[in-house]
Structure 1
Amino acid sequence: MSLLKRISFKDQAFQQREDAILDAATRILTNRGFDLMTMDEVATDVGVSKPSLYKHFKSKEELAGECMIRLLDGANETLAALPDDLPALERIRRLLGWALDLRLKGGLPFLPATSPHVRDMLVKNLGYTMRALKLNNALVKLVRDAQKTGQMRKDLPEDVILYSFYARTCDPSVEFLRLYSKLSNAEIVEHTLSVYFGGVGAKP
């Protein structure tokens, strides 16, 4: 076997282990939050030693930051993959639907809403802030386009619409519906979208 192939296999194994670490950390962050997550717990969940875990991420803060970066990458990629001819309102709707579906599957830690410490930690993470700014700028443009074309209420400030969008992704009612209603995940997503867009959408 050539040296190039050996390096390739080694790199693949490293990346697969890193993906597994991020998956485990995301689940723990979603269920328990940043303060209760420990590196020992993540290592145990993945089935690696703590020294192996630290080869990938030097601290809990770095690991949580990478989880959020991966989440924002997913959001930006989802938005970019939508057909260009979709109306602005439908693009916003599909992005929120993606986020809600991801949350119901345990893949959406809403860390910025948890504590000032976590928010400060993320603000200092350049990779996170760049991606968050990219997503926010794209959403601002979509909201303005939707208002301009009469798809969204023009009497609502864009900040109200945007922050209501972000808040909906971490609305506790979604979790209550998952636990106590007889609705499927798809039905929960559809009804939650209906509640949100019934409020910000333009009236007939």
Structure 2
Amino acid sequence: LSLTDLVDDVFTFPNISELSYVLIRTERIAAFTEISLCMRFKTEKDENFTLFSLYTDRHDHSFVVEVREKNMFSLSIYGDQCKILKKLFTRDWTSLCLSWTSDTGDVKLWIHGDYYGRSHFQKGENISGDSIIFIGEKRPSFRGGFDKSQSFIGDIADVNLWDRALTEEEVMEFTYHDNIRGNVITWRAL
């Protein structure tokens, strides 16, 4: 998939399938010591789905954002999982921003601009190496297949990724005005 501007478009994942995902190839990642992801999604599922997964040749599950249990967002970095309790989204569009900072280990989650956070997760780590990104699916390894039980059903839009932690003001700009663009992945230039 190579589009120039997806501003009014969405990725639709119509059913449970190991073939329903979007693949994004990126340049080699020197070393993420901070990372932020913002996106919007709409789904009928309330548990066991993957929104975003970044894999490197250094480690599987380098940066994975998913919902494993009801009311529980999960961030995995190098396979270790940080769970953030949140009364989950409605069946309408959900605006999500999540950031992680290596120096402090801070994980910050915003849903519709409301902040939820947890500290001291994977402090001192970095994410680096040849990478591939999947939207709507997670696979067991860098070169492995997919597990359809963890596939996303619904719509995903406005996916943006940064190599830094966003400020609260930037998160609010994404949430309410959609005027901020990622410097690693930009929805308007996929």
Query: Does the TM-score normalized on the shorter chain lie above 0.5?
Result: no
Q: Which has the higher contact order (CA 8 A, sep 6+)?
A: 2
Name the structure with the higher helix share.
1
| Larger Cα-atom Rg | 1
Name the structure with the higher strand share.
2
TM-score by length of 2: 0.31
